[in-house]
Amino acid sequence: MSGVAWALVAAFAFAVTQIFNRKSNQLVDAYRTAFGLLASVEVILIVRLAITGEFALLAGAPLSSLLYFVAATFIHFVGGWTLIALSQQRIGVARSQALVGAAPLVGAVLAAWVLEEALTLPIAAGVLIAVMGVWMVSMSGSTNVKGRPWSNPWYALTVAVLWGISPQLIRLGLRGLDSPLVGVTVGLAFTVPLHALVLTATRAWRRGPVPAAALKWMALGGLAGALAVGAQWISFHLTSVAISITVQQLAALFVVGLVPFVFREPIERITIRLVGGAVTMLVGSVLVVLAGR
């Protein structure tokens, strides 16, 4: 499969992951939801490596690559997934996922600077069109569930920045350890315990019991998340950051399509402008892919 195909797989799997994440987030606070999902993903990835025997690749891995992987996973998952869970509580899963569509702008610019990837005019135009879709989404609702204006999407936009930075670290790490799935598994092996320490320091574990239903959604999110993360890292390995990260934002389009069948909350209401923004992002993604060929 090509890098673009893997990015499409990641987009759909991330959309499903966010649906499960939101289901859990309705029962448990955002911090423990993010940790549960992350831990589930790591368990599945470790089982996979144990079956394939790819752990042997770590023998010759340079320390710098391992540090890049740890930094990438901590920024992307602990920071990104926690903030997106908080964003979902305030503006809903559809709008949160769509606003993360600003990530290609950050990722493309940084890749041109850090990785010296070509940032041609057609690619830049496609990225900007996708970001225009983000703006349309941000104007598609007037209030959140508490009646306050939600047009200050700082949690989701911070996620976009973090998710624009992490691909650079992944690519730098892959220069020394040419195995995306081993890289993400190693990174999470350090990130999950660090996340647990953060939750311990903030006394998040004392916020009441975790319902069985929440654990179910976390486990299902782990299955979808493992597929999404694996496909994402493989895509970053096979194609440019600008193309991969832009195509992955199609997760917003998948989320918009899935939300009406899963949620009935006012915060998740789908509007014409929201759909128009998601479609605009699709157009921008297609343009980036075609320009990168």
Terminal-residue alpha carbon distance, the chain: 15
User: Mean pLDDT of all residues in the chain?
Assistant: 81
The angle subtended at Cα 250 by Cα 248 and Cα 254, nearest 5°, is 125
- Quote the pLDDT of residue 134: 67
Q: Tell me the range of 125-139, 190-204, 261-275 where mean pLDDT is highest.
A: 190-204
Q: Give residue-wise pLDDT tens across range 31-81.
A: 888 788 889 999 999 998 888 888 888 888 899 999 999 999 999 888 887
d(CA 222, CA 46): 12
pLDDT at 203 exceeding the cut of 70: yes
- Rounded CA gap, 86 and 222, in Å? 19
Sequence-distant (6+) residues with CB within 8 A of 91 are 99, 141, 144, 150, 153, 156, 267
**Distance between CA atoms of 164 and 182, rounded to whole angstroms?**
21
As a whole number, mean pLDDT of residues 255-284 equals 69
Please list, in sequence order, all residues whose beta carbon lies within 8 angstroms of the beta carbon of residue 88, skipping any fewer than 6 positions away: 18, 21, 22, 25, 30, 96
Band of pLDDT at residue 283, cut at 50, 70 and 90: confident
pLDDT tens digits for range 207-219: 888 888 888 988 8
SS3 content of the chain, % helix, strand, coil (to 5): 80, 0, 20
Mean pLDDT of 187-197: 90
Place of tokens 């970053």: 236
| C-alpha span between 230 and 168 (Å, rounded) | 16
User: Higher model confidence: residue 144 or residue 30?
Assistant: 30
Instruction: Read off the pLDDT band of 249 (50, 70, 90).
Output: confident
Question: pLDDT tens, 160-177?
Answer: 899 889 999 999 999 999
Per-residue pLDDT of 118-174, as tens digits, reads: 778 888 888 888 778 766 765 665 444 444 444 557 888 898 899 889 999 999 999
Residues in the chain: 293
How high is the pLDDT of residue 144? 46
Rounded CA gap, 282 and 240, in Å?
Answer: 18
Question: Could you count the other beta carbons within 10 Å of the beta carbon of residue 195?
Answer: 23
Phi and psi at 187, nearest 5°, equal -60, -45
pLDDT per position as a tens digit, 235-248: 999 988 888 888 88
C-alpha 51: how far from its chain's center? 26
- The pLDDT, as a whole number, for residue 26 is 80
Number of Cβ within 10 Å of residue 263's Cβ equals 19
Smallest Cα–Cα separation from 80: which of 21, 135, 142?
A: 21
